[in-house]
A and B are shown apart, each in its own frame.
Chain A
Amino acid sequence: MARLAVLASWSILAVSLAYLCLLFAIAYYGDKRADAGRSIIANPYIYALSMAVYCTSWTFYGSVGRAASGGMDFLPIYLGPTLTFVLWGFLLRKLIRICKAHRITSIADFISSRYGKSALLGGMVTLIAVLGITPYIALQLKAVSISFNVLVQYPDVVMPPISSKVPVLKDTAFLVALIMAVFAILFGTRNIDASEHHEGMVAAIAFESIVKLIAFLAVGVYVVFGLYDGFGDLFAAAARTPRVSALFTSSDTGYGSWPTLILLSMAAIICLPRQFQVTVVENVNEDHLKKAVWLFPLYLLIINIFVLPIAVGGLLHFPDGAVDADTFVLTVPMAERMEGLALFAFIGGLSAATGMVIVAAIALSTMICNDLVMPVLLRLNWRGLAERGDVSGLLLSLRRGSIVMVLLLGYAYFRFIGESVSLVTIGLVSFAAVAQFAPAMIGGMYWKGATRGGAILGLSLGFAMWLYTLLLPLFARSGWLPLGFVEAGPFGIELLRPYALFGLDGMDSLSHAMFWSLAANIGGYVLGSLFGRPGAMERIQAALFVDISSHAGAFGGTSFWRGSATITDLKTLLARFIGAREAGRALDGYARTHDLNLGRLREADAALVSFVERLLAGAIGAASARVMVASVAKGEVVGIEEVMKILDETSQVIEYSHRLEQKSQELENTTQELRAANERLKELDVMKDDFISTVSHELRTPLTSIRSFSEILSDNPALSIAERERFLTIIVKETERLTRLINEILDLAKMEAGRMDWHMTDTDPRVAIDEALAATSSLLAGRRIALTLEADPWLPHVHADRDRLMQVIVNLIANAVKFCHGEHGEVSILAGQLDGRFYLGVLDNGPGVPLNDRQIIFEKFQESREPTAGRPRGTGLGLAISRQIVEHFGGRIWVEDAPGRGAAFCFTLPVSRPVAVPAPGKESQEAL
C-alpha cells in the first residue's frame, strides 16, 4: 500500500501544490532582491533559461507523441529558433535596442509604435495574438489535465475519460487555470512599473526550465539505460520491429513539411508574445545576449536528445497502440512501477505548462490593457478618465482582469474544442497565427518605406487567410462547423476548400496555410506600403526604428511640443498611471542625470515632456501616452504634419540653393581654366618668337665666324701655313659647335613635342656616371681643375634611358667646369640616396647663381651671364635639356648654393630597385 500511496490523487495534488508554492517563493524572493537592487536574474544563464519557456508541454509530452508517428519530424520546431539566433546580431540585438530606446513592452506596442503610434494596429495585433495564443494556452491546460488524469489511474495504465463529462469546478484543468491566474496576477501585475521588468517571474520561469529539463532527462535516461542497455540496445530492439524502425528512415512526407516548420518556428521565436516578453522586454543587459544566443539553442538540443528514444521505448512497450503516445513520458515509468519517476515527470510537465501559461498571460494582459482597452477608454471618454484621480489602480485591475480573461478563454477553448486534436497540431496553429507579425516586425526594422497602411493590409489579409485555412477547418473537425465545409468547400464551391484553396492541392495543411497567409500578408504589406502615402509620424518613427544605432542615446524626441507643461501637471499625470512613488522616483532620476532642480522649475521643457511621454508609453502604450500627454501640455502639440512640411520645404530650398552654388562654382572654375589657358598660349607665342630670334642669333655667331675666316683664307692665298692651320682649327671648332647647337635644338624640340625616342631600362647610375666622367675628361685636359667623385658604394638603380642620363651628368659637369674658379677650379660630384630617391649633385667653386636666376637658368638660352661675360660659352641649351630629361624620368632638378662658395646643381630620380644594404661608409676616389 505504501508504494501505491505515492501516486494517490491527494499526494499528487500535495506535491503539485508544494511545487507551486516553491515557485511562489522563488518569485517572491526574486522580486525582493530586485527591490533591494541586488538582482538575481541579471546574468546570461538565467536569461537563457528564461528563454526556455519556449519548451512547453508541447515539447514535454507532444514531441514524443509526434516522434512516435513521424520520427524526426518533431525536431524542426527547435531548429528554427537556432537559425534565428544565428542571426542574433542583425535581429535580436536591434530589436532589443529599439525596444529599450522606446520603452516598448509588447509586440502590439512595437508594431503600433513603428507605424506612427497607431492605436488601430496595436489593437489588431492584440486581437490576433489573443486569438492565436488561446489555443496554445488550451494546449497547456489539456496537457496538465490529461497527465493528471493518467497519473491518478495508477496502477492501471489507461487513457482517461474525456473531461467534458466532468463538471467545470471539478476539472483539473480549470483549477490549474485558476492557480496560474493567481500566480500571473501576483508576479506579473504587482505594480505598474515603468520598466516593465518582472524579475520574480523571470526567476521562477528559469527555475521551471531547470526542473522540466531534469525531469525529461531523467525519464530519457531511465528509458535508455534503465529499460535498455544504452542507445545501441534500444535502437537495435527498435530495428527488429518494422513499425518502429520505419521512423528512422525517410518519412512518408519526404521532409516536405520541414522548411515550413523551420520557417514557422524561426518566426515564432521572436513573434510569440511570451518569447518577446522574456527575450526583449525582460532583457536587463544587452551583453547577456552574446551568451544566451548559444546557451538557449544548447538547451533545446539537450532536451531533445531523448525525445526519439522515449518515443521508441514507448512504442515498444505499448505495441497495441492503446496508450496515447503523447503520454509516454508518464506512462512508461508508470508501467514499470517507477512511481517516483512518474511523479517527477508529471511535475516536469506541470512546470513546462505553467511557465508558458504565466508568461503568455502576462504578455497578453499587457497588450490587452495597453493596446486594446486603454485606447478605447481614452477615445470614448478620455476627459472623464483624464480627470480621475489615481488611474494606476484602474490599470492594475485591467491587467488582472485580462489575465483571468485570457486563462478562461484558454480553458473554454480546451473544454469545447481542444479534446479532439493532438498537442502539436494545436501548437502549430498558434505558431502560424503569430508568424503573421513577422513581416510587419522585421520589415519595420529594416525598411523605412513600410507604412501603416501596408502593415494593416498585410496583417488583416494574413490573419484572414490563417483563419480560413487553419482555424475554421480545426473548428470543423471539432464538430463546431459542418465537416462538409472542409471536404467540399463552403456552399459546395470546390475552389474554396480551406485545405486546397484555389485548387492548391498536395501540400500538408500547415504548409498550405503558411503559403497562403504569408503570401497574402507580405503581398499586402509591400504593395500597401508602396502605393500608400506615409504620414509624417510614420516617417519619423520609421527613421527612428530603422536607424536605431545612429539614434541610440539620442533622446527619443519624436514629439514636437510647441508649448510646455508645468512640472506639477506632468508629475500628477505620471502618478495617476504609474503611482506616486514610481513617478517621484523617475522624475528624480531624470533631474539627477540632467542636473535640474525640479523644485525650482515651473515649466518643463520639451525634453522632459518627451521623457514623461516615454515613461507613460511603458505603462499604457505609445498611442495612449501621446493622447494623455497632449491633455496636460499647454499650448498644442505642433502638428507633426506642419513640422514635416516646414522641414521638407526648408530642405528643398537648401537643396536648390546648394545646387545653384555648385553650378556657379563650376562656371567660375571653367572661366578660370580658360583664362589660364589663354595666358599660357600668349606666353608660348612670345616664347616662340623669342626662341626663333635667339636661335637665329645663336646660329649666326658661329656662322659669321666661319664665314669670315673662310673669306680670309680664300682672299689671302699668301697666308703662312701656321696662320692657315689656326684659322682652319677655328673653323672646325665653330662648325662642331654649330652641329652641336643644331643637334641640341633638335633634341629639345623633339622632347618638347614628345617625339623623343626613349629607351627606358633599369639603369645602374654608376655606369652613367663613369661614362660621363670619361666623356668629359677631354674638357678638363690642360685645365687646373680638381674633379672628385664621392659616391655611396651601393647606388640604387633607376628607371631611365642610360644615354640620356649620361647626357644630363655630362651637361652638369660641363657646366661646372665652365663656371668654376679660374685658378683653383674644384668640381665635386656627390651621388647617393636622399629620402628614398637617387641623388646626384655637381658642385663647383665658381661665383654661384644669384637667387633670382635659379629658376630661369633652366630655361632655353638663359645662362647666367653677367659675372662671367667674355668666358667661353656653351650653347645655352644644356640645362634646359637636362631639365627635360630629368623631369621625363620623374625626377626633379634644381640649383642651390654650394657650401663655401659656388653653385650646386642637383637632381633626384625615383628608385626602381632599392639598395639591399644601406651604405655604412663611403668610397672616395680621385677621378683626375
Chain B
Amino acid sequence: MTGPKRIAERSVATFLFAGAAFSPPFLSIFGADVFVFGLPLLYLYLFAVWGLVIALVAWIAGSDAAPPPQGKGWPPHAKGGPAHAMGGPPGGRAWRA
C-alpha cells in the first residue's frame, strides 16, 4: 500500500493542479467561442477537469491504508541487506585440504 508521505504528496499535487486549472488565465483560454461536440468549450473543459480531479481524489483516498488514529509512524520497511552467502568461519573451508 502507499505510504502516508506519498499520499500527502499526491494530494498536494492534485490540489495545485486543480488550483491552476481553475485560474483565470486558463479560463480565458478555454472561454473561446468554440463548440466541441456541440457543447461550449468552457463548459466541457470545466466539467472534464472537475471530473478528473474527483477521480484523482478517489484514487488517492482509495490507496490510503493508514490505520485510523494512534501510532504516529508505521512499521519501517524490512531492511533486506545483502545476504551473507559466503558463510563459514575463517579457515573452515580452507582447511579441508
Known contacts A834-B88, A906-B90; A89 and B54 CB within 8 A of each other = no
* Residue-wise interface mask of B (63-97) relative to A, using a CB-CB cutoff of 8 A (1 in contact, 0 not): 01000111010000000000011111011011101
Residue on B with the closest CB to A78?
A: B50
Known contacts A82-B18, A82-B53, A286-B68; A906 and B40 CB within 8 A of each other = no
Q: How far is the CA of A896 from the CA of B68 in the complex (A)?
A: 59
Return the contact of A290 from the options B39, B64, B84, B91 (Cβ within 8 A).
B64
State the Cβ distance, A160 to closest chain B Cβ, in Å: 32
Whether the Cβ atoms of A836 and B38 lie closer than 8 Å is no
State the Cβ distance, A87 to closest chain B Cβ, in Å: 6
Whether the Cβ atoms of A832 and B50 lie closer than 8 Å is no
State the Cβ distance, B13 to closest chain A Cβ, in Å: 9
Q: How far is the CA of A839 from the CA of B92 in the complex (A)?
A: 12
**A835 is an interface residue with CB less than 8 A from chain B:** yes
Known contacts A249-B31, A258-B24; A72 and B46 CB within 8 A of each other = yes
State the Cβ distance, B54 to closest chain A Cβ, in Å: 5
Whether the Cβ atoms of A297 and B7 lie closer than 8 Å is no
Whether the Cβ atoms of B28 and A255 lie closer than 8 Å is yes
* Residue-wise interface mask of B (44-72) relative to A, using a CB-CB cutoff of 8 A (1 in contact, 0 not): 00110011011111100110100011101
Residue on B with the closest CB to A245?
A: B33
* Contact residues in B for A294 (Cβ distance below 8 Å): 54-55, 57-58, 61
Residue on A with the closest CB to B64?
A: A290
**A828 is an interface residue with CB less than 8 A from chain B:** yes
Whether the Cβ atoms of B61 and A232 lie closer than 8 Å is no
* Contact residues in B for A250 (Cβ distance below 8 Å): 27-28, 31-32
Q: Helix, strand, loop or mixed for chain B's interface?
A: helix
Whether the Cβ atoms of A86 and B72 lie closer than 8 Å is no
* Contact residues in B for A779 (Cβ distance below 8 Å): none
Residue on A with the closest CB to B87?
A: A835
Q: How far is the CA of A239 from the CA of B55 in the complex (A)?
A: 32
Q: How far is the CA of A417 from the CA of B87 in the complex (A)?
A: 89
Q: List 26 A-B contacts (CB under 8 A).
A: A71-B42, A82-B50, A85-B57, A86-B57, A88-B57, A235-B40, A239-B35, A248-B41, A249-B32, A250-B31, A255-B31, A290-B61, A293-B58, A294-B54, A301-B47, A301-B54, A553-B70, A830-B97, A832-B93, A835-B84, A835-B88, A836-B84, A896-B91, A898-B95, A904-B91, A904-B95
Chain A residues in the interface with B (C-beta under 8 A)? 71-72, 75-76, 79, 82-83, 85-90, 97, 230-233, 235-236, 239, 245, 248-251, 254-256, 258-259, 262, 286-287, 289-291, 293-294, 297-298, 301, 304-305, 308, 549-550, 552-553, 790, 828, 830, 832-836, 839, 841, 896, 898-899, 904, 906, 908
A-B pairs with lowest CB-CB distance, top 4? A232-B38, A248-B40, A294-B58, A250-B31
Given contacts A72-B46, A82-B54, A232-B39, 18 further A-B contacts (CB under 8 A): A79-B18, A82-B18, A86-B14, A88-B11, A231-B38, A248-B33, A248-B40, A249-B32, A250-B32, A256-B24, A258-B24, A258-B27, A297-B57, A305-B47, A553-B70, A833-B86, A834-B93, A904-B95
Chain B residues in the interface with A (C-beta under 8 A)? 4, 7-8, 11-12, 14-15, 18-19, 22-24, 27-28, 31-33, 35, 37-43, 46-47, 50-51, 53-58, 61-62, 64, 68-70, 72, 84-88, 90-91, 93-95, 97
